[in-house]
Amino acid sequence: LSESSEAKVMEEIRRFLPGSSKAPRRIGQAAGTLDVVVEKEAVCIEGYWIARGPKEIDAQRLLADFCVTESARRNLRKILRCVSGGKVVRPPILLEGPTGAGKTSLVKFVAAMTGHDCVRINNHEHTDLQEYIGQHVYDHGVLKFEEGPLVKACRAGAWVVLDELNLAPSEVLEGINRLLDDNREIHIAETNTTV
């Protein structure tokens, strides 16, 4: 959304959503901090509630390491709006922008602030589907299937960042398509299993 449209939409959200006008307590008092509330089941960042993951959260350390500029806050709120709303399964989120703009850093920050693991998988023009899914390897003379980072992350319920996805070959995109659509599953042909 453009900034003017975003302001109008946010005004409507605050008007109609229960609890959206309640200001959470602020952790830290310095200018450039974020409004954060860490509770047992959820974490509220800048007014957006996100289901809490299984990891410990060190909010003070994370906030101390995060530089809050106005553009970072604006982009952070856009990501928070996409992932907020409880334990419902959210559709995949596509973040576009120039290299080095902080997209991956923002996602990793939100994941850490909400107690979720975040796995980053980098793509390039030679990325192979085996780098995502896994491959057969020899282990002490025995051939076995070793799962790749995408399968491990799916099993663990971790957040996944598919970085530079535009560089991945079409075979890779076709191979992970079922994970990104409504099925939310990935088939491992080598073991004939679905995760």
Q: Write the CB contacts of 84 (distance below 8 Å, at least 6 apart in sequence).
A: 48, 49, 50
Q: What is the pLDDT of residues 75-106, one digit of tens each?
A: 999 999 999 976 666 778 999 988 888 999 99
Read off the pLDDT band of 17 (50, 70, 90). low
The whole-number pLDDT of residue 61 equals: 92
1 with 68, same domain? yes
Domain that holds residue 31: 1-95
Residue 102 lies in a domain: no
Residue 189 lies in a domain: yes
The whole-number pLDDT of residue 129 equals: 92
Q: Mean of the pLDDT values across residues 117-146?
A: 94
The whole-number pLDDT of residue 119 equals: 97
7 with 67, same domain? yes
Pairing of strands 118-122, 187-188: unpaired
> Tokens representing 113?
């602030």
- Degrees, nearest 5: CA angle 165-43-39: 150
Domain final position from 95, 129, 148: 95
Residue 171 lies in a domain: yes
Asked if pLDDT for residue 6 goes beyond 80, the answer is: no
| 66 and 76 Cβ atoms separated by less than 8 Å | no
Domain tally, the chain: 2
> Tokens representing 77?
């709120």
Q: What is the pLDDT of residues 29-77, one digit of tens each?
A: 344 678 899 998 999 999 999 999 999 999 989 998 888 888 889 999 9
Q: What is the pLDDT of residues 139-154, one digit of tens each?
A: 999 999 999 999 999 9
